[in-house]
Every structure is written in structure tokens, then in C-alpha cells.
Amino acid sequence: MYFCYIDESGTSDIPGNTSHFVLAGLSIPIWHWRDCDGEIENIKRKYALGSSELHVAWILRPYLEQTRITDFSSLDHRQRRYQVECIRKTEILRLQKAGNPGLYKQTRKNYRKTEAYIHLTFDERRNLIREVAQCVANWGFARLFAECVDKIYFDPSRAPQTIDEQSFEQIVSRFEQYLQIMGKSNPSSQCCGLLIHDNNETVAKKHTELMKGFHQRGTFWTRVKNIIETPLFVDSQLTSMVQIADVCGYALRRYLENGDEELFDLIFQRADRKDSIVVGVRHFTHSACTCKICSAHRKSSP
């Protein structure tokens, strides 16, 4: 039995504020689950994160308050946290008086989302995410599936599906094909898969409906025999492995949008391959794209 943890990165809105939308799924066999979860917990412990969620887009932002504190990196965690909180409280009070409710609300949200990580310098936060990505790279048993949609090349007036539908159908098809191949190599046991998704009400409803349809009619590419049930929706705050899917989606999107290779090169090692050609991760874009994903798709076997 395999779990496939799914998360999205960027927005599927057109145009939205990102050029790409990525839906990523990381599959692990259930007999490795405990070890994987334990490794991630160890990394969190090393960075004094307790049970905080790893939300990579918030972790890797520059926190301006930190740059305003003298010798921030030489302070201990408690002092760092105290000083950042002082600056933030002052700023919140200032914005409250300034009569700009939009900015006030946004700033409060930024502070809330980054609160768990303010005791770490930017370099430490980068190391944290790199360690997580390295961990995933080392999981030889894990497989990455992803649909990365370049929204510039997605024409909603001509596409038969929405970006969300297309992406979900791709992930389901590839995960299913992977399970069928794994099942053939071990015919004595049926190879089952279960999708586990971060809980988000609108996505939950949509993906549940789509999955019911796939069970009845198959996807465009395959019948669905091995993935069981509709996706399970969990609270990503409580489930480390969904947070790892978030890191994967982020690494793919940042590579395609900004050319950031460090995290991508680690995560992409786990992309599902058949005869050394990447089949699990697709970049939906123009046909002349030379990115590492498109190149790995075209690469002929050695």
C-alpha cells in the first residue's frame, strides 16, 4: 500500500500572482511512513520548531525585523524571538492608528504565518528547508508526481478542463500507472494507493467529485484500479508528510519561475522515471521549452 501526499503551489487563478500552478504528489510505501515522519520530526527538533508546520513559502521570506536587530545571529533563540516580537508589536500598534485596515490586516497575517520561525536567521531557515529536501532526495523508495502548468500557455477558452482538473487528473493517472507497474512486479499482493490531501474545503469537494468520476470511467489515460477511495483530507498542521508535499511543489514552482535550482535538483531526483525518462513530472508549456523537466521528458534511454 502506498500513500500519495498532495499539495499545490501557486494559484490556479488566471492570471493570479504566480506564472505557474503546480500540483505535486509524493508517494511513499506505508512501511516507510514511520521512518519518514521520524526523520522530518528530527529536523524540526534540530531547529527548535516543536510541532510547528513547515510552510516553506512563509519560512523562506525575508523577515525585515531581523535585519533591524543588531547582531541578530549572535543572540540566543529567546532573545531573538523577544526582539522580533517587540518590533512587531510596535508596528501593529502603528498600523492600527494609521487608518489603513488593508495593510494592518495583511501585516497581522504575515506575522501570524511566520511567528513559528522568527527565532531562526534567514540562513538557518534556508538550511532547514535544504535539509528537508535532502531527506526527500535520499528516500529511494519515494516517487514524485507533479503537473506544472505555465499559465501563459493555458488557454481556458480552448481547454476542455480547468487547470485544477487537468492537474488532478494527471497526478491520479501517473500515480495509478506507477501502482500498476509496482503491482506487476509483485503479483501476489494487490498494490493499493491512497491520496492524502491538505484540507481545503473547495479543493476537497472538487477532488472528491473528480475521483468518483475516475473510479467509474477512468481518466483520459487509464482505468483506475489501484487507487482506492476518494482522497483523504487532513490538517496539514498535524501531518508532517503533507508539509513535505508542500516543499516539493514549492521547489518545482520556484525553479520554473525563478530558476532556483538548489531545492529543485534535490527533489527532482525522486521524479518517477521509466527507462531513465521522467514520466511522473510534466511541465505544461510551449514545445520548445528547454527546462530540466522538459529535457528529462525527451531524454532517450541510454
Chain residues that interact with Zn ion, rule: CB under 5 A: 283, 289, 291, 293-294
- Min CB(286)–Zn ion separation in Å: 8
Q: Which of residues 234 and 291 has its CB atom nearest to Zn ion in the complex?
A: 291
Distance CA 84, CA 36 (A): 33
Q: Which of residues 26 and 294 has its CB atom nearest to Zn ion in the complex?
A: 294
Is residue 119 within 8 Å of residue 83, measured between CB atoms? no
| Sequence-ordered list of residues with C-beta below 8 angstroms from that of 291, at least 6 positions apart, any chain | 255, 256, 283, 285
- Min CB(292)–Zn ion separation in Å: 8
- Min CB(276)–Zn ion separation in Å: 18
Distance set, CA 4 to CA 27, 78, 210, 227, 254 (Å): 4, 37, 16, 10, 22
The answer for 260, left when phi > 0, alpha when psi is -120 to 50, beta otherwise, is beta
- Min CB(290)–Zn ion separation in Å: 7
- Min CB(147)–Zn ion separation in Å: 12
Cis peptide before 15 (omega within 30 of 0): yes
3-state secondary structure of 273: strand
Distance CA 151, CA 249 (A): 16
3-state secondary structure of 143: strand
Q: Which of residues 188 and 290 has its CB atom nearest to Zn ion in the complex?
A: 290
Nearest to 231 by CA among 77, 39, 5, 9: 5
Q: Which of residues 70 and 290 has its CB atom nearest to Zn ion in the complex?
A: 290
- The three three-digit cell numbers of residue 193, written as one number: 494507493
Q: Which of residues 253 and 283 has its CB atom nearest to Zn ion in the complex?
A: 283
Distance CA 185, CA 55 (A): 36
- Min CB(174)–Zn ion separation in Å: 17
- Min CB(13)–Zn ion separation in Å: 21
Distance CA 163, CA 237 (A): 26
Distance set, CA 245 to CA 196, 217, 279 (Å): 10, 28, 18
Q: Which of residues 115 and 257 has its CB atom nearest to Zn ion in the complex?
A: 257
Q: Which residues pair with 22 in a beta bridge?
A: 9, 148
Q: Which of residues 250 and 268 has its CB atom nearest to Zn ion in the complex?
A: 268
- Min CB(1)–Zn ion separation in Å: 33
Q: Which of residues 69 and 291 has its CB atom nearest to Zn ion in the complex?
A: 291
